[in-house]
Amino acid sequence: MAKDISNLDSFLVESINPIWFGEDSFNQLQNLIEKGKYSKLLFLVDENTHDKCLPYLLQSLSKIPHYEVLEVEPGEESKSAEVLVQLWMALSELKVDRQALMINVGGGMITDLGGFLAGTYLRGIHFVNVPTSLLAMVDASSGGKNGINLQHLKNRVGLFLNPEAVCVIPDFLETLPEQELRSGFAEMLKHGLIADKAYWEELATFDIENEIPTQEMILRSIQIKKEIVEQDFRETGLRKALNFGHTIGHAIETAAMDAEPLMHGEAIALGMIAELYLSEKYTALPPADAEKCANQIRALFRDLEWNCDIDELLQLMQSDKKNKKNQIRFSLLREIGVPEVDVAIGEKGITEALDYLKQKL
């Protein structure tokens, strides 16, 4: 796999919170740590990011005061109330006070869990996100959504709260397993589909099996998310567009958990195929566009299998956070790059979309 991304320039992206990008991030983070005069410095990692990412981060910071490391098991199971309680207790035992800084170093699991932990312990301590997976770089680490799962209900408990800053360092992608890279790529495809046709077309022909997305691509995704979030931080309208593919995708992800688990982005890829069908039927996306986009996503995720029970999926969608008045609501596309949110669709329509998805697999 071609992985040399070391020669590109660094960028600075302005956002609700600063998003530092590339090599420059280390200096920025160093300054923040020095100026903040924090009472304690903590790193939250999972076992993989402890081994693969924390050493690089620590050696890239020129001066670092004494710190503590909190480590959890990798995987979605750690985004749970049980793990959160253990972490609250650990912070309490370490006598962490409100002037502490926590640095979340990991994928979306760590940034979601760490943001919630930092936002709730002592009613809030300072935190910074250092995303290490592609999915966390382009999506999970910015936008202020933090939280945990409540048993099988994804992201059921959480907070809207921004970190002090997000440090996006694409070098971390060097050690990310290929399947994880493709999972993050699904969210980039979503960014193109909901906001930027030209970007979508660039991504649709990108060889994600053999290449790491360029820094420009990663930045474009970050910008799309930032622009949407800045207009609707609390997700009352436009921000719901970022849920394209997620109503069906989350249900598939949950249903698959016990049998053959799918990665978040893999489930979202399947969800986008089904929701392209719904976009054609309910929001007038031209049929040729719907079919072409579905085929392109399918080609990128051609090895995915899916054997979920449609009734189980419908039941899971009944608990979707976007529902209103017991109606299942979708974020769909009117055109490539033009979303439409809050589209209520009945069980018959959803079943047809799931049948269509089954045919595609």
Ligand X SMILES: NC(=O)c1ccc[n+]([C@@H]2O[C@H](COP(=O)([O-])OP(=O)(O)OC[C@H]3O[C@@H](n4cnc5c(N)ncnc54)[C@H](O)[C@@H]3O)[C@@H](O)[C@H]2O)c1
Asked if residues 34 and 64 have their Cβ atoms less than 8 Å apart, the reply is no
Q: In the complex with ligand X, which residue's Cβ is closer, 175 or 319?
A: 175
Residue with tokens 């009472």: 39
- Label residue 208 exposed, middle or buried (CB < 10 Å: 0-12, 13-18, 19+): buried
* 176 near ligand X (CB under 6 A): yes
What are the structure tokens assigned to 57, written together?
């981060």
* CB 23, min distance to ligand X, A: 16
Residue from the set 27, 60, 80, 155 that interacts with ligand X by CB under 6 A: 155
CB-closest chain residue to ligand X: 108
Q: In the complex with ligand X, which residue's Cβ is closer, 106 or 245?
A: 106
Q: In the complex with ligand X, which residue's Cβ is closer, 191 or 329?
A: 191
Q: What does the alpha-carbon distance between residue 86 and residue 48 come to, in Å, rounded to a whole number?
A: 19
Mask for 56-95, x = binds ligand X (CB under 6 A) = ------------------xxx--x----------------
What are the structure tokens assigned to 136, written together?
């966390």
Residue from the set 118, 135, 189, 256 that interacts with ligand X by CB under 6 A: 135
Residue from the set 32, 42, 101, 112 that interacts with ligand X by CB under 6 A: 112
β-pairing, 145-150 with 101-106? unpaired
* 138 near ligand X (CB under 6 A): no
Which helix (H) or strand (E) segment holds residue 100: the answer is none
* 110 near ligand X (CB under 6 A): yes
Q: In Å, how far are 11, 142, 214, 226, 332 from 14, measured between CA atoms?
A: 10, 12, 20, 9, 28
* 253 near ligand X (CB under 6 A): no
Binding segment for ligand X (CB under 6 A), chosen from 56-64, 129-137, 194-202, 212-220, is: 129-137
H helix intervals, 94-239: 108-120, 134-135, 178-195, 197-204, 215-231
* 133 near ligand X (CB under 6 A): yes
Residue from the set 17, 48, 223, 243 that interacts with ligand X by CB under 6 A: 48
* 103 near ligand X (CB under 6 A): no
| Closest of 334, 335, 323, 336 to residue 350, by C-alpha | 323
DSSP class per residue in 51-67:
HHTHHHHHHHSS----E
* 267 near ligand X (CB under 6 A): no
Report helix, strand or coil for 72: strand
Where on the chain is the footprint of ligand X (CB under 6 A)?
46, 48-49, 52-53, 74-76, 79, 106-110, 112, 132-133, 135-136, 139-140, 143, 145, 154-155, 172, 175-176, 180, 183, 264
